Amino acid sequence: MSSRPESANEPLSSAETLPRVLNRFDAITVVVGSIIGSGIFLKASTVATELQSFGPIMLIWIVVGLVTLCGALALAELAAMLPQAGGPYVYLREAYGRLPAFLWGWTEFWIIRTGSLGALACATVIYGNELLVAAKSADWLPAFFADHIPLTHNAQGMVSLLLIIICSVINVIGTRWAAWVQNVTSVIKVAFILFLIVAPFVLLKAKTDNLQPIWPADWSLAFFRSMGIAMIAVFWPYDGWINIGPVAEEIKEPQRNVPFALAAGVLLVIAVYLGANASYHLVLPMQDVANSTAVATDVTRSLLGTHWLWLAALGVTFSTFGALNSNLLAGPRIYFAMARDGLLPAAISHVHPRFKTPANAVIAQMAWSLVLVIGAYWWTAPDPPVPGPEPVTSPMVAADAQPVGMIAQWLRKAFIPKSGPREAFDALTNFVIFGGSIFYAMAVGAVFILRWTRPELPRPYRTWGYPITPAFYLLVFAAALVSLLLDALPQTIAGSLLIVAGVVVYFIVVGRESAMKGGDK
């Protein structure tokens, strides 16, 4: 590993820098495309189940949206001040030193970023499978292809792997290509959600009676705990706003375009999310939203009938695929920056001589994402049917008496307390939110620290509403962390252990680096 200087003022060689090829519109679609993915379609039922009244439901989406906006306004100051690849990694390094910065990259690689990629690839395939089923019902598919629809569990796993590979190849061959995919998918996903918002009024299917009750009858402690659970759920649909930081080095005029893109993108997402949730509840009764496993599909069925279900599947597929591409675009820049600092192998900081992309970082991220997807599909695979009159006991259950089997069963029940992909999705998102939110809060807090420790750094943009806006973000984060500790304990324990493991690895890396320097003297 090579050693890089820690200071933001140290110039980087041209061989280690990425060209500025993204314009303002690209930057906005990175923000919008990173945030809007699966959450607006999969978390609405969780929120409705917990709150059961329209007023608090809309309030929780507004509050988390404003919290996200406050975090984005703080991040904009840091990104405009330090427009380098790596984003939060650079901000944490400058504010707190190399260890917290390394831990951010460590958790990003091993679970937060790559886990999100796996979940988004799986979600894309799930809704893509629904699209194929709808196409089969309409006799749009050739007979030889239709015979294999719906896709089997293993086939869905193979397609998930293929999607990650395809997106990774796009991100290797050019940042402009990745930006083009991001732009197209962002426009399609926003257009689909706007359809869901407008159609109930155009088709006269909006029913204000569905909004009842507006407020809960009971304001007990149990209700406020439900508010906490709902808040955690809504953090996932708003997750991704921080993704513009890692690509700031490739944005033209970052001092102007990054703050604008963050503010405009987050405000657009808030408006779209509020409109979508209002539409869900205007079309479907409260209990139907709470019980829905695919709310966009159910709303489309109510608006247009079963023959148009392919439209919902197509819209959500593009939404999740765009979010997959956005995460593939942002993540490698973090590992690229870490390698420039000597905290990862120097090869990760290699810029492809032809494509001018961090190709090795993209490939490394792809490789671990593929491993996670393979593991996830293996973990959730149904037991193969075995002919015979006697029922076959699951190998997992049969192994209960053995230590390994008992551990596997405990892990399965801890992370997926109920069987089914929806419960697995919720457990994974809680895991990602726990790990990510800690470092998001530290990045927002870096605004306070760097104003005190590095007042000489140029600040072409200063956080609007400082110090209230970043303080509000940190206050709500603290409340969300308490709720996570109460209601998602297995995920918080696992996330904490992962971070502790990162501390050990960091000191091993630093120790080797120091030994190499000593040997050179």
- Backbone phi, then psi, for 251, in 5-degree steps? -95, 130
Contact indicator for 339, 361 with CB cutoff of 8 Å: yes
Asked whether residue 184 carries a pLDDT value surpassing 50, the answer given is: yes
Residue 179, amino acid? A
- Among residues 95, 4, 11, 1, the alpha carbon closest in space to that of 340 is found at 4
Residue 379's pLDDT band (cuts 50, 70, 90): low
Model pTM score: 0.80
Instruction: Name residue, tokens 């945030």.
Output: 35
Q: Which two tokens stand for residue 293?
A: 């496993």
The distance of Cα 340 from the centroid of its chain, to the nearest Å, equals 25
In this structure, the dihedral spanned by the alpha carbons of residues 294, 296, 299 and 304, taken in order and rounded to 10 degrees, is: -120
- Among residues 302, 436, 319, 266, the alpha carbon closest in space to that of 41 is found at 319
How far is Cα 123 from Cα 120, in angstroms, rounded to an integer?
Answer: 5
Q: Which two tokens stand for residue 398?
A: 């049969």
13 three-class SS: coil
The widest CA-to-CA distance across the chain, in whole angstroms, is 79
Instruction: Name residue, tokens 């709303």.
Output: 299
Asked whether residue 413 carries a pLDDT value surpassing 80, the answer given is: no
What is the helix (H) or strand (E) element at residue 164, kind and residue range? helix 153-173
The DSSP string of 65-92 is HHHHHHHHHHHHHHHHHS--TTTHHHHH
Among the ranges 40-44, 111-115, 116-120, 221-225, which has the highest mean pLDDT value?
A: 40-44
- Among residues 376, 392, 373, 374, the alpha carbon closest in space to that of 384 is found at 392
Contact indicator for 296, 276 with CB cutoff of 8 Å: no
How far is Cα 187 from Cα 198, in angstroms, rounded to an integer?
Answer: 16
Asked whether residue 60 carries a pLDDT value surpassing 90, the answer given is: yes
Residue 279's pLDDT band (cuts 50, 70, 90): very high
Q: Which two tokens stand for residue 518?
A: 């000593």
* Burial classification of residue 340, based on how many CB atoms lie within 10 Å of its CB (0-12 exposed, 13-18 middle, 19 or more buried): buried
Cα 439 to Cα 363, 442, 514: the distances in Å are 24, 5, 27
Polymer length in residues for the chain: 521
How far is Cα 337 from Cα 360, in angstroms, rounded to an integer?
Answer: 12
Domains belonging to the chain, first-starting first, are: 14-380+395-520 (1.20.1740.10)
Contact indicator for 68, 313 with CB cutoff of 8 Å: no
| Average pLDDT along the chain | 81
The per-residue pLDDT for range 293-318, each reduced to its tens digit, is: 788 989 999 999 888 888 888 898 88
Between 428 and 156, the more confident residue is 156
The DSSP string of 425-469 is HHHHHHHHHHHHHHHHHHHHHHHHHHHHH-TTS--SS--TTTTHH
Tell me how crowded residue 421 is: count the other CB atoms within 10 A of its CB. 14
Residue 102, amino acid? F
In this structure, the dihedral spanned by the alpha carbons of residues 96, 102, 107 and 112, taken in order and rounded to 10 degrees, is: 80
